[in-house]
Structure 1
Amino acid sequence: MSETRAMPVMRLRRPQFPLLLAGGFMLLGLAALAALAIGAVSLSPAEVIAVLTGQAAEARHEAIVLHLRLPRLLVAGLVGAALGLSGAVMQGLFRNPLADPTLIGVSAGATLAAASTIVAAGWLFPAGWQPLLQPLFAFLGGLAVILVVYRFALVEGVTLVSMLLLAGIAFNAIAMSGTGFLIFIANDTQLRDISFWTLGSVGGSQWVTVAVLAPFAAAPLLALPWLARALDALNLGEREAGHLGFRVERVKRLACLCTALAVGGAVAVSGTIGFVGLVVPHLVRLLAGPQHRTLMPLSALLGAALLILADLVARVIVAPAELPIGLITCLIGAPFFLALLLRARSGFAA
Structure 2
Amino acid sequence: MLGKNVIVLSLALAIAETMDSVEGLQTSDSSSRRDFLNKAGAAVFTGASSPLWIPGAANAESSAASTSPIKLPPIGLGCWSWGDSLFWGYNPKQDSDLEEVFNFAVSKSSPVLIDTAELYGLGRSESLIGDFAKNTKPEDTILATKFAALPFRTKPEAVVKACEASMKRLGRQIDLYQIHFPNAFANEAYWDGLAMAYEKGFVKAVGVSNYGVDATRACHAALAKRGIPLATNQIQYSLLYRYPEENGLLQACQDLGIQVLSYSPLALGLLTGKYTSENVDKIQGPRKGLFKKTVGTPEFENLIASMKAVAKEHSDANLPQVAINYARAHHTVPIPGARNLRQVTSNYGSLDWRMSSEEIKFLNKAASKLSYIDPNASPFPKKDKDTGLKMFDS
TM-score by length of 1: 0.27
Larger radius of gyration: 1
